[in-house]
Amino acid sequence: MSISLKTEYLGMSLANPIVASASPLTGSIESLTQLEKAGVAAVVLPSLFEEQIEHDALEVHHLLSFGADSSHEAINYFPELSSYNTGPDAYLQLIKDAKQVLSVPVMASLNGISRGGWVRYAKLIQSAGADALELNIYFVPTDDRMPGEAVEQRYVDLVRDVREVVSLPLSVKIGPYFSSPANMAQKLIDAGANGLVLFNRFVQPDIDLETMQMVSRLELSQPSEARQAMQWIGVLRHRVSASLAATGGVHSPEDLIKLLLVGADVIMIASSMIHKGPKQALVLLEGLHDWLEEYEYTSVGQMKGSMCYDHCPNPKGYDRSNYMKALVNYTGQHV
Ligand SMILES: Cc1cc2nc3c(=O)[nH]c(=O)nc-3n(C[C@H](O)[C@H](O)[C@H](O)COP(=O)(O)O)c2cc1C
């Protein structure tokens, strides 16, 4: 029996649901080629950050003194940007090079939060030939006087601003911390998003106890993290008419299969492929194929969404009663 792994994402027909998520692995032509060889159906390039664009536009010394008291601390403020990807021009070149070399769709990623001139880069990304644009909105609202509505409006305004300048398929990558994530999803789609990427992993601060400095440490994800996207993709699947991408915590074929069952159109993976190398895509694809065969599905399309909130046999598993049940049934045996 032949099994189709095909899926649709942002209007693009993909050979399978595995997408290489934005990470250093998608930042060079060499590893992009390895990812394609291993079977990923599309790639998202690392983000071009609002700060990188402003970096170009401002006097360097002015920027480096922003937000820090000493120049040493200030330089540490944007430590990765120069090494992670080298700036707007190099970024546009990476899109062009990737489009020349790869046959899978190439999505670019813009990362920012303020309305401003940097949004024009969306247009440049489109002209460089990207197949789609992912807008990563990463905002940490530390102002105690900023109401939730104002935070949400910032997201919506930004999506509108980007939508105005591009005709490319547009997805929005957000974190999970909204009072009403489903309503927020709806607002972003109304503002012009064609898809949502759920969820951004927020990097929590840490303290170096020797130097008494705040430090940022990025750890690779754990499989349990995939359940956050499972929850909300399952709820949203039949409530929004937009593509849904899951990201966070997918390390095994089982993680991938569960996200497809709740209704994800694609699964965006970084940690697992950073940890095990691009070939991990092949392992995940084989695992998916074997599972479909064992359970007698003929296509990914047939299983996709069959366990979402509106179709699963016990939708209460998605809400508060699941929490109570989990507490009552806890035995500690997994500790
Ligand atoms: C080292 C590293 C760099 C990343 N860089 C970006 C980035 O530039 N833009 C972005 O939207 N996400 C970035 N991410 C997040 C990933 O794209 C992905 O959404 C997240 O890590 C969750 O997926 P995972 O559990 O498979 O790692 C990065 C993740 C890692 C580990």
Q: How confident is the model over 252-276, as pLDDT tens digits?
A: 999 999 999 999 999 999 999 999 9
Between CA 65 and CA 59 the distance in angstroms is 10
Write out residues in the chain with pLDDT < 70, as ranges.
55-86, 333-335
For position 12, what pLDDT does the model report? 98
46 C-alpha to ligand 1 centroid (Å): 8
* Ligand 1 lined by 218 (C-beta under 6 Å): yes
Residue 84: per-residue pLDDT: 58
The number of C-alpha atoms within 13 Å of 233 and in the hemisphere containing its C-beta is 33
Give distance in angstroms: CA of 27 to centre of ligand 1.
12
Tell the residue nearest (CA) to atom 19 of ligand 1.
247
Tell which atom from ligand 1 comes closest to the C-alpha of 49. Answer: 8
**Ligand 1 near 26 CB (within 6 A):** no
**pLDDT at 86 (0 to 100):** 65
Q: Is the CB of 34 under 6 A from ligand 1?
A: no
d(CA 24, CA 144): 34
- Could you tell me if the CB of 39 is within 6 A of ligand 1? no
Cα separation, 214 vs 274, in Å, equals 26
Would you state the pLDDT for residue 298? 97
Residues 51-104 have pLDDT tens digits of 888 765 554 344 444 333 333 333 334 444 545 556 899 999 999 999 999 999
The token pair at 25 is 């692995």
Q: Which residue, by CA, sits nearest to atom 4 of ligand 1?
A: 23
Considering only CA atoms, which of 81, 165, 149, 77 is closest in space to residue 115?
165
116 vs 27: CA distance, rounded Å: 25
CA of 301 to the centre of ligand 1 (A): 26
CATH number for region 7-329: 3.20.20.70
Distances (CA, A) of 265 to 9, 136, 137, 259: 6, 18, 21, 9
Domain ranges of the chain: 7-329
Q: What is the pLDDT of residue 293?
A: 97
Distances (CA, A) of 146 to 64, 186, 204: 27, 22, 20
Which residue's alpha carbon is nearest to atom 1 within ligand 1?
Answer: 23
